[in-house]
Amino acid sequence: MIYRDLSAIDFGTDACPRVPRPERVLMTTPTHFDVEYVINAHMAGHIGDIDRELACTQWDGVRTAFEETGMEVTVIDGAKGFPDMVFCANQTLPVQLPAGRETKLAPVPGAHRVVLSRMYALQRRLEVPYFQRFFSDEAYDVIEDVALADIAFEGMGDAMWHPGRWLLWGGYGFRTNPAAYDIIDRQLDVPIVLLYLDDPDFYHLDTCLCVLDEDHALAFPGAFEACGYDILKHFFKVVIEVPEREARELFACNATCADGEHVILQTGSTETCRMLREHGFTPVEVDTGEFMKSGGSVYCMKQLYW
Ligand code: ARG
């Protein structure tokens, strides 16, 4: 079921079946990372401006931060000719079905599915098969329908699981066509809440929203329509409002809280870190400066899966 208006929503997260949080992290080596074209506002002026050695050091820092919070990190090699492949949140949406649903969905019984993306930019389209192979090898059942329908969808860049619940947040406006969510709903029979984005700096949902745990999220209110922001406040008990400068310039919302406690984010977001601590979270600051030139930070540089 697709939801866009608060008036149509008569349930909270309690009504959504529980799903375990993902405990594994997938990353892609930055060996071929670069800014070679401009497909988002942040990339403008940065073609040829990447310090690859520094990028590799920063990538190691992100990997270490995940490992230090107890996550298991698996790495696949970035491929030559795909300078954005390092942003591996975008090519797929991994799915863990709630208990009892495994057999309902044909053809393969099992709790793990993966929705393949149809990248908006031509330059990124052929990144997807690398991740299709990875998840097939992990015994995930591959859902190709969105890609085959040629409807733009950028995986976990725009689609996000509500932590611990069978509820999907669906951003659209720049990279993802909302029609993708109709297909996903048809495949998975899942409640999906749509959030419209129209500020070019916040072109993926993960640039302005970070789900922390079942009750808490970080968000930059200015990136949402009033009705979208109200829906966020309906489902999350606390929405921590990230100041504009930290959201726009430091990608403070492009953070990841994989364990419900540690929040890995770009360094320098002093106010965001202060508020996170106030609400019982532990900020872990890392430098992703080279990747921000391409329009991504911590969240985009990994995929979470089960
Ligand atoms: N240069 C990449 C692009 O424009 C950055 C992707 C960042 N990923 C993200 N999930 N926000 O596609």
The confidence score (pLDDT) of residue 105 equals 54
- Tokens 């949402």 -> residue: 224
Q: From the alpha carbon of 158, which atom of ligand 1 is closest?
A: 10
Ligand 1: residue whose CA is nearest its atom 1: 294
Angstrom distance (rounded) from CA 227 to CA 211: 18
Residues of the chain with pLDDT under 50: none
300: annotated active-site residue? yes
The confidence score (pLDDT) of residue 101 equals 81
- Cα angle for residues 148, 181, 33 (degrees, 5° grid): 65
Q: Count the domains in the chain.
A: 1
245 found inside a domain: yes
**Residue 38 and residue 263 in contact, taking contact as beta carbons nearer than 8 Å:** no
pLDDT in tens, 157-199: 999 999 999 999 999 999 999 999 999 999 999 999 999 999 9
The confidence score (pLDDT) of residue 104 equals 56
102 found inside a domain: no
Beta-carbon contacts of 274 under 8 Å, excluding residues fewer than 6 positions away, are: none
103 found inside a domain: no
C-beta 248 within 6 A of ligand 1 = no
Ligand 1: residue whose CA is nearest its atom 7: 296
Angstrom distance (rounded) from CA 232 to CA 221: 10
* 294 CA distance to ligand 1 middle (Å): 7
C-beta 91 within 6 A of ligand 1 = no
104 found inside a domain: no
Domain that holds residue 29: 2-95+109-305
Q: From the alpha carbon of 40, which atom of ligand 1 is closest?
A: 4
254 found inside a domain: yes
208: annotated active-site residue? no
C-beta 157 within 6 A of ligand 1 = yes
**Single pTM value for the model:** 0.96
100 found inside a domain: no
75 found inside a domain: yes
Give the CATH number, domain containing residue 243.
3.75.10.10
The confidence score (pLDDT) of residue 102 equals 72
**Probe ligand 1: pick from 87, 175, 302, max atoms within 8 Å of CB?**
87
C-beta 171 within 6 A of ligand 1 = no
